């Protein structure tokens, strides 16, 4: 599966669990360690867990496994590393604090609208 296909599956899985403020960032021209970031906001720890678990289940069904997963214990910021694609799932406060989009402002960004807007 290509990195772009992995990103699309991640976005779809996040949307199925009502993830918000989804941003796809193409960092391939400015990073040596990954091609994409996908940033997602969850409304609560329960939702962040549901989004994380659903992404994991959907990709495992396609034989795609994370290299690592961090932050699952506190559910403020979960990072899932799929080699070429890094997924960041934040609560609102952590997303504002870490401001990944600002840190990687040179990346090409696509803002995925929430389905119910």
Confidence of residue 113 (pLDDT cuts 50, 70, 90): confident
CA 54 remoteness from chain centre: 12
Residues 6+ apart with CB under 8 A from 74: none
Return the CATH fold of 3-112: Beta Polymerase; domain 2 (3.30.460)
Q: Where are the beta strands (DSSP E) in the chain?
A: 20-26, 36-41, 68-70, 77-81, 85-90, 108-112
Alpha-carbon Rg for the chain in angstroms: 13
Whole-model pTM over 0.85: yes
Question: Does residue 117 surpass a pLDDT of 60?
Answer: no
Residue 25's DSSP bridge partners are 37, 109
pLDDT per residue over 77-105, tens digit each? 999 999 999 999 999 999 999 999 999 99
3-state secondary structure of 22: strand
Structural domain spans, the chain: 3-112
Q: How far apart (Å, rounded) are the C-alpha atoms in residues 108 and 53?
A: 27
């Amino acid at each position: 599966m290509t990195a772009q296909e992995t990103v699309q599956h991640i976005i779809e899985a996040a949307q199925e669990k009502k993830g918000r403020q989804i941003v796809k960032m193409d960092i391939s021209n400015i990073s040596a360690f990954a091609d994409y970031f996908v940033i997602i906001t969850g409304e609560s720890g329960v939702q962040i867990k549901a989004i994380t678990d659903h992404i994991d289940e959907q990709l495992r069904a396609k034989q795609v496994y994370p290299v690592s997963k961090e932050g699952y214990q506190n559910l403020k910021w979960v990072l899932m590393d799929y080699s070429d694609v890094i997924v960041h799932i934040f609560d609102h406060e952590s997303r504002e604090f870490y401001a990944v989009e600002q840190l990687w402002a040179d990346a090409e960004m696509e803002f995925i609208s929430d389905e119910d807007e």
